[in-house]
Amino acid sequence: NDMLRWQRTGFHFQPEKNFQADPNAAMFYKGWYHFFYQYNPTGVAWDYTISWGHAVSKDLLHWNYLPMALRPDHWYDRKGVWSGYSTLLPDGRIVVLYTGGTKELVQVQNLAVPVNLSDPLLLEWKKSHVNPILVPPPGIEDHDFRDPFPVWYNESDSRWHVVIGSKDPEHYGIVLIYTTKDFVNFTLLPNILHSTKQPVGMLECVDLFPVATTDSRANQALDMTTMRPGPGLKYVLKASMDDERHDYYALGSFDLDSFTFTPDDETIDVGIGLRYDWGKFYASKTFYDQEKQRRVLWGYVGEVDSKRDDALKGWASLQNIPRTILFDTKTKSNLILWPVEEVESLRTINKNFNSIPLYPGSTYQLDVGEATQLDIVAEFEVDEKAIEATAEADVTYNCSTSGGAANRGVLGPFGLLVLANQELSEQTATYFYVSRGIDGNLRTHFCQDELRSSKAGAITKRVVGSTVPVLHGETWALRILVDHSIVESFAQRGRAVATSRVYPTEAIYSSARVFLFNNATDAIVTAKTVNVWHINSTYNHVFPGLVAP
């Protein structure tokens, strides 16, 4: 039906059909970005036929679907070719390490390499005849040993370090370390890379990489495989929490001798502190793009509608628009995640609005035509007098328990309503809510309210978000990418991010609108500048010779 057809995105990565999940890293090789991902060629949900899909692109946006890279066809991956990492090694070799689900559902690690390194498309892959290269070591459960990642190469003894996520018997997340010279023979180190400070459970898709702490070094090559810890660098440890289904990161230091990661602040260790994304986003991986000297992040954004609708649509899950990752040199307490610059090349018609006063309790329609594929950049100012007049307010405010954009406070909520119908009975609200703490300081909450995003039943709807630093003299800034059934929002130029899947029933096709709103009771908010661009659809080609699943 029309409504479900409309939900397919215009510029996000989607296979032609069926289920996709974890990005299994990416690499730039001989002129192409290669993207690998968990893909089920046989259905719209995860099952034991999970495989590695493969696509190539010149710009991370327009994709060619290639034949699948890896399928479950050996005893050691009979129950699925699970996640892992594809890496271009500094010596020019390419290795894929992945977890296989064996016949008995033991998680083992396997090696695969391209058959022909001179083929820019890396069409053919061969699995090592010595697979599995690793089985769960003593003390580790058969189902707690997955997602290998070759993290660092030690030149002095020519050994690779490979990390693997797990958990200990007390339910603390741990990261095991192996060393290897040839990716065939491995040694388990007695120490671990990190053990979480709380019993957060199994760590999936562990990632570790450096970021530069000064702007001047930000764009230098920060390739983990060759980078040595030193001044001007911090390290990011990221893990996907199997219990909670969110991707957490911690900023910290990394010691090469002991091969350990130590968070700067134990109270915001991985699993309890910072998230890449406060909405729907999971099993992410970064890769180092040597072509543009940047680190790029991908995660998958699952469905929150019914399995029945997934079956009717014929597909499930999206990949977010790839995001560059930098350290925030202003706050020094978080990363900056931002859509890759290539997205800007998809911008077409632009509408610009300036200095629009938003009175308490008002909305303002942005006349932009059909509002289903948009890139919106907006900056707001809150009336100074209202801020000064506000004493302690909303000290305990929290996006997820707030009741959303309908709940009024003195200094918010204000922001945008996207994928809204004319009557606003369907809308996804992305907004700021400013409160004043007992210490007298202002706190800004950045929230995305899905509660009225769809009139359809059987959909999980939440209010997601977190606090976000707004520094002295800064405006409140939002960027929102709207693409049919996904809304990716960035606050304060990437300090906090929230992604939602939404399934409007009325705000679709030419009925989709976008509004500014201010639901504060006291403060006048000014939309200083709002830029709205329409975003072109990207094409996706099926490579000749691809056997349709």
Binding site for ligand FRU (CB under 6 A): 21-22, 38, 50, 82-83, 99, 146-147, 204-205, 240, 283
DSSP 225-271: TTPPP-TTEEEEEEEEETTTTEEEEEEEEEETTTTEEEES-GGG-TT
CB of 164 to ligand FRU, least distance (A): 11
- How big is the chain by its Cα radius of gyration, in Å? 23
CB of 175 to ligand FRU, least distance (A): 13
- Start-to-end Cα distance in the chain: 23
Spatial contact of 486 and 454, defined as CB atoms under 8 Å apart: no
Whichever of 283 and 520 has its CB closer to ligand FRU, that residue is 283
CB of 318 to ligand FRU, least distance (A): 14
Whichever of 143 and 307 has its CB closer to ligand FRU, that residue is 143
What is the C-alpha separation between 115 and 111, in angstroms, rounded? 13
CB of 84 to ligand FRU, least distance (A): 7
Both tokens assigned to 225 = 């495989």
Whichever of 99 and 518 has its CB closer to ligand FRU, that residue is 99
Spatial contact of 398 and 505, defined as CB atoms under 8 Å apart: no
Whichever of 77 and 328 has its CB closer to ligand FRU, that residue is 77
223 is catalytic: no
| 127: β partners | 112
Whichever of 38 and 131 has its CB closer to ligand FRU, that residue is 38
CB of 99 to ligand FRU, least distance (A): 5
- Out of 22, 77, 277, 305, pick the active-site residue: 22
248-252 long-range Cβ contacts below 8 angstroms, 24+ apart:
248/272, 248/273, 248/274, 248/275, 248/276, 249/273, 249/274, 249/275, 249/276, 249/335, 250/274, 251/211, 251/327, 251/333, 251/334, 251/335
Amino acid at 497: V
CB of 242 to ligand FRU, least distance (A): 7
Amino acid at 186: F
Whichever of 21 and 416 has its CB closer to ligand FRU, that residue is 21
Q: Which residue numbers are catalytic? A: 22
